[in-house]
């Protein structure tokens, strides 16, 4: 698959036609298809802090995933069964994914950061019959396993446990004779929504979801693959960003992917990984980019060879956009999507689509509109709900065992994202905020993103979140929660200074009337700020 070469975005978007084979299996596409003619080609590299980095070839990935697929079948795991993966970035994680797709199962990626209640909920709702995890995950599973009657098999990586199987033993199993025949719409992957609004739901995707991400991947990363390209993300592969904005599309395109040990995000370590592993293409969410800004003159300190950086998950904002141009010497290509339908809007400086404060334009092959409450397109520059046409191949099949919730997600042929945005006359889409996050103050509708972006321009602010606090006079007032940059101390004077900073740069109705300093902001495992927790805290 290759995004056609065109000189202009308009021609590229106009002429794009999907070409997804009727026989398409994600596991085969990211392993066997390459192993057939380039078995020695490197597909994975693993960063080790001691410098003894690891490598895996497509031939090894193909053989080992087929062995695990065969073992799962012999264990009685059937086509359509959900198999959970509770692992960090690692070779075993990739082998597990590919094996599940090859034998016709449904992969259920889970984050190691989940507590026992979150794990129990997802495993119970999905009805997972097997799980692959490590010693850390096993300790959590042991406390809830008797409450999971569907979970028949626990497979441990580099660990032992009573009543559990060894992943390493599975690798020596006779390989699956032949991957199951899979079509684009056959179920392959279930990713639970991050739960920023309401209980998490299992978004079920078909094998076509991978094909649906390729145009966006090549658009944002400007012609991927190019000679020497290599992909890395600090994002957990358990969520759509890490898995579908980096890992699987890169493997399909023949681009090596760098993995790194699970850890709390550290800016210097991130720069070290990118420099030492010669990363050329990075997917770095906005929150992580803002933390990277704490490292002064990174290009002098680290031998970076970055060619492209993509970012999504939260609004990037003009401040972070400009910081990257100055500090990294490149323009971050912001893009947008949801767990249910991903990578549908993007910037691409190579195609002249880039503007600070805007996400970008529709990715070739995807239709995006801004709709009003009646489901009708709004005029340019007016705020409405971002919606995605159901013709997108990255569109989910539906929520697991939740037909009513699935139906409520659509208005006719359009999937409603729940995100507010506006599109200008040139076609650029700007993110305004989640429906629930929009602040109503003195008759004004205020998006938190613009305020947060402005707050980040103050030298004392490392991270910030803006929410609406109930107010009897104004309906709501803007309240800011601020994590201070190193070297700054909280004080009433600093709070007033930060408030005035916004007042003089945005408008009199948008500045935070309250500023509260906090040590950290509540975030989902995907790096999104959970503003509902902050709203509840402010209203208490």
pLDDT for the residue 445:
63
Strand partners, 283: 310
Q: How does residue 434 score in pLDDT terms, banded at 50, 70 and 90? A: confident
Q: Which domain holds residue 487?
A: 438-539
- pLDDT > 90 fraction of the chain, expressed in percent and rounded: 76
Tell me, yes or no, whether 414 lies in a domain: no
pLDDT for the residue 443:
57
pLDDT for the residue 446:
75
Tell me, yes or no, whether 148 lies in a domain: yes
Q: How far apart are CA 62 and CA 65, in angstroms?
A: 5
Tokens of 146: 């008797």
pLDDT for the residue 453:
81
pLDDT in tens, 480-490: 999 999 999 99
Residue 100: give its domain's CATH number: 3.40.50.12780
pLDDT for the residue 440:
67
Average pLDDT, the chain: 92
Q: How far apart are CA 233 and CA 231, in angstroms?
A: 7
Total number of domains in the chain: 2
Tokens of 221: 């990363």
70-74, 200-204, 520-524: least confidently modelled range? 520-524
Tell me, yes or no, whether 25 lies in a domain: no
Three-state secondary-structure class, residue 39: coil
Exposure b/e, 351-382, CB count within 10 A at least 16 = b: bebbbbbbbbbbbbbbebbbbeeebeebeeee
Tell me, yes or no, whether 62 lies in a domain: yes
Tell me, yes or no, whether 255 lies in a domain: no
pLDDT for the residue 1:
58
Work out the average pLDDT over 61-74: 98
Tell me, yes or no, whether 352 lies in a domain: no
Work out the average pLDDT over 8-14: 92
Work out the average pLDDT over 337-351: 95
pLDDT in tens, 77-125: 999 999 999 999 999 999 999 999 999 999 999 999 888 888 999 999 9
Beta strands 257-259 and 42-46: pairing type? Answer: parallel
Work out the average pLDDT over 209-224: 96
CA dihedral sign of residues 319, 320, 325, 328: positive
Q: How many C-beta neighbours within 10 Å does residue 296 have?
A: 8
Three-state secondary-structure class, residue 466: strand
pLDDT for the residue 268:
95
Does position 64 have pLDDT exceeding 80, yes or no? yes
pLDDT for the residue 194:
67
Task: Decide which of 206, 235, 251 is a domain's last residue.
Answer: 206
Three-state secondary-structure class, residue 135: helix
- Chain CA centroid to CA 41, Å: 27
Strand partners, 165: 155
- Check if the beta carbon of residue 348 is closer than 8 Å to that of residue 333: yes
* CB within 8 Å of 402: residues ≥ 6 apart: 201, 202
Tell me, yes or no, whether 231 lies in a domain: no
Say what the alpha-carbon torsion angle 500, 501, 506, 511 is, to the nearest 10 degrees. -50
Q: How many C-beta neighbours within 10 Å does residue 15 have?
A: 10
Work out the average pLDDT over 263-288: 93
pLDDT for the residue 480:
94
Beta strands 130-133 and 106-110: pairing type? Answer: unpaired
Task: Decide which of 172, 191, 206 is a domain's last residue.
Answer: 206
- Check if the beta carbon of residue 274 is closer than 8 Å to that of residue 203: no
156-160, 170-174, 193-197, 300-304: least confidently modelled range? 193-197
pLDDT in tens, 12-25: 999 999 999 999 99
pLDDT for the residue 510:
80
pLDDT in tens, 193-202: 865 555 789 9
Work out the average pLDDT over 376-384: 93
pTM of the model: 0.85
Q: How does residue 180 score in pLDDT terms, banded at 50, 70 and 90? A: very high
Residue 509: give its domain's CATH number: 3.30.300.30
Rg of the chain over all Cα atoms, to the nearest angstrom: 23
- Chain CA centroid to CA 370, Å: 22
Tokens of 540: 């208490």
- Check if the beta carbon of residue 182 is closer than 8 Å to that of residue 188: yes
Work out the average pLDDT over 168-188: 95
Tell me, yes or no, whether 468 lies in a domain: yes
First to last CA, the chain: 53
Work out the average pLDDT over 365-385: 94
Q: How far apart are CA 527 and CA 533, in angstroms?
A: 14
Task: Decide which of 187, 206, 225 is a domain's last residue.
Answer: 206
Tokens of 278: 């010669």
């Amino acid at each position: 698959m290759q995004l056609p070469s065109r000189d202009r975005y308009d021609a590229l978007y106009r002429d794009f036609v999907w070409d997804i084979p009727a026989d398409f299996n994600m596991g085969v596409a990211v392993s066997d298809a390459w192993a057939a003619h380039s078995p020695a080609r490197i597909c994975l590299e693993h960063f080790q802090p001691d410098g003894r980095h690891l490598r895996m070839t497509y031939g090894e990935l193909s053989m080992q995933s087929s062995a695990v697929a065969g073992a799962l079948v012999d264990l009685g795991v059937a086509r359509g069964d959900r198999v959970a993966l509770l692992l960090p970035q690692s070779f075993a994680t990739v082998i597990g994914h590919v094996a599940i797709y090859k034998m016709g199962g449904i992969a259920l990626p889970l984050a190691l950061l989940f507590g026992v209640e979150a794990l129990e909920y997802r495993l119970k709702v999905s009805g997972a019959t097997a799980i692959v995890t490590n010693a850390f995950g096993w300790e959590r599973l042991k406390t809830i396993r008797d409450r999971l009657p569907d979970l028949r098999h626990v497979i441990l990586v580099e660990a032992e446990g009573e009543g559990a199987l060894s992943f390493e033993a599975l690798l020596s199993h006779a390989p699956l004779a032949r991957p199951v025949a899979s079509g684009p719409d056959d179920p392959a992957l279930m990713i639970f929504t991050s739960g920023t609004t309401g209980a998490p739901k299992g978004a079920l995707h078909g094998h076509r979801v991978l094909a649906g991400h390729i145009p966006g991947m090549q658009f944002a990363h400007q012609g991927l693959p190019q000679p020497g390209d290599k992909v890395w993300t600090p994002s957990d592969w358990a969520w759509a960003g890490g898995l579908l904005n980096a890992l699987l599309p890169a493997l399909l395109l023949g681009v090596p992917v760098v993995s790194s040990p699970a850890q709390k995000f550290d800016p210097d370590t991130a720069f070290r990984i990118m420099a030492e592993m010669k990363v050329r293409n990075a997917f770095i969410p906005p929150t992580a980019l803002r933390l990277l800004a704490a490292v002064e003159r990174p290009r002098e300190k680290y031998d970076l060879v970055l060619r492209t950086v993509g970012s999504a998950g939260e609004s990037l904002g003009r401040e972070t956009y400009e910081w990257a141009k100055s500090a990294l010497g490149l323009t971050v290509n912001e893009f947008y999507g949801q767990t249910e339908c991903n990578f549908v809007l993007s910037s691409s400086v190579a195609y002249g689509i880039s503007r600070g404060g805007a996400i970008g334009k529709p990715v070739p092959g995807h239709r995006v509109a801004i709709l009003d409450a009646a489901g009708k397109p709004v005029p340019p520059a007016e705020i409405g709900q971002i919606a995605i046409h159901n013709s997108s191949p990255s569109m989910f099949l539906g929520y697991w065992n939740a037909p009513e919730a699935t139906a409520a997600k659509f208005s006719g042929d359009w999937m409603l994202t729940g995100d507010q945005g506006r599109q200008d006359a040139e076609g650029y889409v700007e993110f305004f905020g989640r429906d629930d996050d929009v602040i109503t103050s003195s008759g004004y509708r205020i998006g938190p993103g613009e305020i947060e972006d402005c707050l980040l321009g103050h030298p004392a602010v490392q991270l910030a979140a803006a929410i609406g606090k109930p107010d009897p006079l104004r309906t709501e007032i803007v309240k800011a929660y601020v994590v201070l940059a190193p070297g700054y101390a909280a004080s009433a004077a600093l709070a007033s200074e930060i408030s005035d900073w916004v007042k003089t740069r945005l408008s009199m109705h948008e500045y935070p009337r309250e500023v509260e300093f906090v040590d950290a902001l509540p975030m989902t495992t995907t790096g999104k700020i959970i503003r509902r927790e902050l709203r509840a805290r402010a209203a208490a």
